[in-house]
Structure 1
């Protein structure tokens, strides 16, 4: 093989320039030619080269020269296309389009019956042209004389003895028998009488017999001799009648190839097939009327998958693309393009289809755009990421804002196809901006599809903004008036649960889902319950991994001097009927602790005269625990512990202020059993926070007795019993604390507060909220302290100024919310 190539190269070097390079040798049936695959040096395009060695086969040189002459002069679509020729004394080269011998396909039986019919149809038309228009006879028609081009079309060659019958010295008469395998394919009359017998009958009878042999050979693979002529094995039934008349032993009874062609083109005959109609009309597609084009495309779409791929790739596809882009073929023609494109290699698709598709995406025709988006899944894998990001997707995004809803919807659906090819920057930037617009679209279906789309591309979103985008989008969809949009949001949340942190689930997602647990539509309610269960499983798993508490142990807290609060423990005394008071036990216990500390800090003083300040060190605690009246319950003590005394009673500011947050405020001196006595302690505590608008915890700007701070007066020195009696009888007010040895009268002080509230109501003050009991009336008052129905009068003399040297502790406003809080819990809960 290498020797042959070198010999050919040396021969070319001695002769005229031949701008083609020889490649591999192609196997042929017995022939005077040697066939090579070649390439054109100028552009590297493929070709085939027929080579004839003059010195090695000088006897058949007239046959080679006749073939060269006829190929140069005979022009027909069914004839091999010649690119260049070279003839010297030592060789003849004919460069043609790239060809493959038909024998290869026949041996492998790789052609379907419809494709065989289509090929025979093309050869029949070519023979008709040679016999009728050229008044010639081929003389060597057989499988070895036929080749297939890159488009799969059958091309006729073997022109060694092609002759014009009008020429008396035609080569066929003298050299017909020199053609290789001539004896096997020679008609019976020529075998008996010689080639001159052609002159005594119609010139086309030779080609008619040979065409009949070609039919048998194409469907059966081989032809042994004239004895097989007329056998119908594997020949289509519709073709058998015409086939027998072609191979009739009597030349006068034979029909011409032209007659056989006419028979086959009748309605319902063997050449009346969609494939043949397609190939016959594809080149005229651009000049067809709209109705003709529509009918042609319908027939083309009905083709099965056994059509010749090469022909569709090389011939049909370019014509269809031109029809789609310029000829008005529209979406139907593009659908056929995609059907053909699935059988193309990536290189062929990129070379033939991709440039046209890029131009079509820029086409403003909405029908074309929708068709492109519909067929996008069939071709997206053929595009590189760079082409999608730089050339296709920038043209597609215009569909998100198109005025036609169908274009917006198809553009939205195409996102799922585009996302694997898009860069992270495009997804998290441009794409999300457009999805935010479609999420607010006027069409409910587009809004719903946007939610579905976001759920499916969640894994492609950036981790830094993924949860934020999804929560915002799905929460909005949960409020959508369209039922399927809400349901889609719940489904999307359930599908993307792994993308959310437990904190996001607890604080943002679950509250949004709770809003649709009682949706008006059962579809939404059921899905909301399922989605809630999914997220609650995630929350339970996260909560199980958390520590029991982040507070330091009690031993560490006591070592650090931290405030200690009596908290109920989960023991037998903390049950529903135990002394712990259930879940409210700790709060009542704390107030009792405060009572124990405050009882030893507040001292009696004269009303109406500013008492002198004293330090906490000079205030001696009572020698024994005071004994309460039988009419006062433990809950009354609790209320009075947090209720403000009247403005006429001074209190040590320094001691009370410093105790807020200190050990004495949550002291353990009170008995836990007293702390949980009655259930109405909550209402009594609310009473003590001053419904008249005052601050029960130390505002210094009170201007009247009703609004004054009971705990805002300066601390006073210890006074005598006479002073206390004089205060009670002389001022007409209520003194909550008696002598040093007497018990503190919280009930009397409470009665005075209720009298003030009645006075406020009469004067236009606020009405107590429902449920707050007015406890501690006259029946609860101590006999030693008179109860009045009017509020305590304003002191005649303003309190003395604070000592300059005594620092004042920072006040903490612990007052509850205003009464306009309807639910009673407010933000503090």
Structure 2
């Protein structure tokens, strides 16, 4: 039962629910309040909580209640913003925006003179409102009554004795002396006559004197005695005159805070500084004319370093984001936004800036798009890869096809900024398709920049597509009429040499670059020479690691390796000549054929008798055998078609070779068609097509007898009807009849149409081993 009573009593004592959680305690000056950091339970947003323990400090309860009442009813930008309040019989809680005591900054001397002026200007504005518009007296202006918000702005609190002037029973007259530390800031008249002295002079005189002591303490970080009031140590010279009038010993001679503010706003005076001026214009940015807005944003961009960082983040940035997106601030507002956003913490950037940037990329305004692309390097590292690849890039690529060349060019330049944030699929797919379009752009500068861009993003391309894309793009750029596009291609090839294989370097890149060695522009010739040197070194290095030959070695009968055909061999005596082997080989061939084919191409119809039977037989055997092997193994040398009728058939076999030999330059030119080193036995479709397309030229013998018929006729004249030698005899399986005479040939030719004869160069199998028969016949 006792436990139940205590639980009920505890629930009653707790009072109404307070939807905020207490955090760490914040140390402040002597005060009736305890300040703690807090969070809102609903959304986790940050706040500050002022708490007053009634049981422990009941004598000052009227001060706490007065402060609670004034904070609820007094609304001004320079006053602490109240979120929620709770009052019970045991405590008073006031939840406000997140605050930091000004004392912290003053003790650390972390505020610049310009920032102090800016804060004093804000407090003076608030006091002017309290004294003049609200006809009240604050009564406790000091460093301990002022806090800084998350935006860095100075906020006025300490409303424990805030009283209306017309209220004769105001709390300031009866409880003013209960405020902690108030004795240190007493004006002279209160020290002599108490709080009732307020009624004898201007009601703003107390606040004016306390504002003067605030100025001294803010610039010097301490205020230890009322005697320091009026001293100018540390105070800017422009404020000296007005400051002394604030702390005048005679309350009737003191200047009011409102007048002090007006004096400071005059041209060239202490409050006429860009920081204060720009702050006043922030709230009115949306209603300014385009010209005023442009001037304001230009000045703001130049003065960003003078603003407190928190003020830029919490106050300036939200207004600029709204202006850029909806208020017509345009590129200027966006430029300032990017500068501020670069210094934001990651959480603030993700929550405040990233969503706006994504929406702005979808804005059709060209000027805004160009400004976004120009400032993208400032924020690209802060943007997540998924956001860039999935949300920003699809909007950004619309600039590649824009009608304005400036938009296309800026879009192209931005590729270097965003490519590290893109996926491989996006880079090697959609991005390369758009770059292929800009490579053919009508603007030569865009074409040159595309080449530069491809060279710089080469490392991000897939190895399977890199060589194909880059070689095609750079080769095309080498033929560009714009000199800088050609130069960009040569420089890109030199810079990306490591990305190409040795074979591509030798067979595709070097042939494409070499024509640039004779370019009309000196700058192209110089760069081409450098690029060729890069690839020559690369190719030479690759060649050094290759074997001497890819052919398998051949062994002689005794087991030793025989030299390959056409390979230079060391000469006698240790000397060697690179041309010796070729000359000797050619001489051997000519000596073998000597006496068989005459230089003038004519042949005698009657064979020259041999000097003797033995020599004739041996020489004839050797020459016939050699001729037969040459006919089988190698193509015969060309012979003129002007030969006599005796050699017409033999000469016709070689006529095509003679006609084809036109000029040596054409042969070197044919190498460019990649057919110079083709295999003669190539059966590829390309080779078949070439063979098919070559016209067939039939040979017409004009009705003359063939070579075998002529030999048969000559033999019959000399030997009667003796048979031909075995080597010249026609095979029994041949369908051709007996040897023909000249008259029979003419008669047959007149009785039947001419038939085109094709010469079969291949030896018949039945004649391969009949060398001896040639010897017997001769």
1:459 maps to what in 2?
A: 459
* Cα deviation, residue 165, structure 1: 1.7
Give the TM-score of the pair, scaled to structure 1. 0.74
Q: Is 1:689 aligned to residue 657 of structure 2?
A: yes
Give the TM-score of the pair, scaled to structure 2. 0.79
* Cα deviation, residue 591, structure 1: 3.9
CA distance in 2 between partners of 1:550 and 1:556 (Å)? 19
C-alpha distance 587-180 of structure 1, shift in aligned 2 (>3 A)? farther
C-alpha distance 516-570 of structure 1, shift in aligned 2 (>3 A)? farther
Q: 1:704 aligns with which of 700, 705, 713?
A: 700
* Cα deviation, residue 423, structure 1: 0.4
1:775 maps to what in 2?
A: none
2:83 maps to what in 1?
A: 83
Q: In 2, are the aligned partners of 1:36 and 1:48 still within 8 Å (CA)? A: yes
* Cα deviation, residue 690, structure 1: 3.8
1:313 maps to what in 2?
A: 313
Q: Could you say what secondary structure the match of 1:83 adopts?
A: strand
CA distance in 2 between partners of 1:435 and 1:557 (Å)? 64
Q: Is 1:50 aligned to residue 59 of structure 2?
A: no
Q: In 2, are the aligned partners of 1:591 and 1:642 still within 8 Å (CA)? A: no
Q: In 2, are the aligned partners of 1:361 and 1:395 still within 8 Å (CA)? A: yes
CA distance in 1 between partners of 2:409 and 2:593 (Å)? 71
CA distance in 2 between partners of 1:715 and 1:564 (Å)? 43
C-alpha distance 558-721 of structure 1, shift in aligned 2 (>3 A)? farther
2:730 maps to what in 1?
A: none
CA distance in 2 between partners of 1:97 and 1:535 (Å)? 68
**Residue deviations 1:386-444, cap 9 Å, x none?**
00011101001011111100000000000000100000000000000000000000111
Q: Is 1:276 aligned to residue 282 of structure 2?
A: no
* Cα deviation, residue 246, structure 1: 0.8
C-alpha distance 511-160 of structure 1, shift in aligned 2 (>3 A)? same
CA distance in 1 between partners of 2:660 and 2:338 (Å)? 83
Structural mapping, 1:366-377, within 5 Å? 366-377=366-377
Q: Could you say what secondary structure the match of 1:516 adopts?
A: helix
CA distance in 1 between partners of 2:23 and 2:265 (Å)? 41
Q: Is 1:264 aligned to residue 232 of structure 2?
A: no
2:445 maps to what in 1?
A: 445
Q: In 2, are the aligned partners of 1:24 and 1:36 still within 8 Å (CA)? A: yes
* Cα deviation, residue 550, structure 1: 1.2
Q: In 1, are the aligned partners of 2:373 and 2:410 still within 8 Å (CA)? A: yes
Q: Please, what is the CA RMSD of the aligned residues?
A: 4.0
1:242 maps to what in 2?
A: 242
1:518 maps to what in 2?
A: 518
1:471 maps to what in 2?
A: 471
* Cα deviation, residue 151, structure 1: 1.2
* Cα deviation, residue 328, structure 1: 1.1
CA distance in 1 between partners of 2:197 and 2:765 (Å)? 138
Structural mapping, 1:391-790, within 5 Å? 391-555=391-555, 565=565, 567-571=567-571, 581-582=579-580, 584-585=582-583, 588=586, 591-592=589-590, 595=593, 622=619, 643=639, 648=646, 689-691=657-659, 702-705=698-701
Q: In 2, are the aligned partners of 1:12 and 1:18 still within 8 Å (CA)? A: no
CA distance in 2 between partners of 1:353 and 1:563 (Å)? 78
Q: Could you say what secondary structure the match of 2:16 adopts?
A: coil
* Cα deviation, residue 330, structure 1: 1.0
Q: In 2, are the aligned partners of 1:607 and 1:795 still within 8 Å (CA)? A: no
Q: In 1, are the aligned partners of 2:554 and 2:562 still within 8 Å (CA)? A: no
1:602 maps to what in 2?
A: none
**Residue deviations 1:562-583, cap 9 Å, x none?**
997464425369999x7x8557
Unaligned regions of 5+ residues in structure 1, if any?
A: 1-6, 600-604, 609-618, 628-637, 658-685, 727-737, 741-791, 811-829
2:629 maps to what in 1?
A: none
C-alpha distance 145-269 of structure 1, shift in aligned 2 (>3 A)? same
C-alpha distance 249-621 of structure 1, shift in aligned 2 (>3 A)? farther
Q: In 1, are the aligned partners of 2:275 and 2:306 still within 8 Å (CA)? A: no
CA distance in 2 between partners of 1:700 and 1:172 (Å)? 125
C-alpha distance 703-241 of structure 1, shift in aligned 2 (>3 A)? same
Unaligned regions of 5+ residues in structure 2, if any?
A: 1-6, 598-602, 607-615, 625-633, 662-679, 681-694, 728-741, 750-754, 767-778
CA distance in 2 between partners of 1:491 and 1:593 (Å)? 57
2:738 maps to what in 1?
A: none
C-alpha distance 308-647 of structure 1, shift in aligned 2 (>3 A)? farther
- Write 1 or 2 for the structure with the bigger share of helix: 2
Q: In 1, are the aligned partners of 2:703 and 2:745 still within 8 Å (CA)? A: no
Q: In 1, are the aligned partners of 2:592 and 2:623 still within 8 Å (CA)? A: no
**Residue deviations 1:135-192, cap 9 Å, x none?**
1110111111001111111110000011112111111111111111111111121112
* Cα deviation, residue 706, structure 1: 7.7
**Residue deviations 1:752-790, cap 9 Å, x none?**
xxxxxxxxxxxxxxxxxxxxxxxxxxxxxxxxxxxxxxx
**Residue deviations 1:440-483, cap 9 Å, x none?**
00111000000000010000011001011110000001000001
Structural mapping, 1:209-224, within 5 Å? 209-224=209-224
CA distance in 1 between partners of 2:298 and 2:467 (Å)? 49
1:196 maps to what in 2?
A: 196
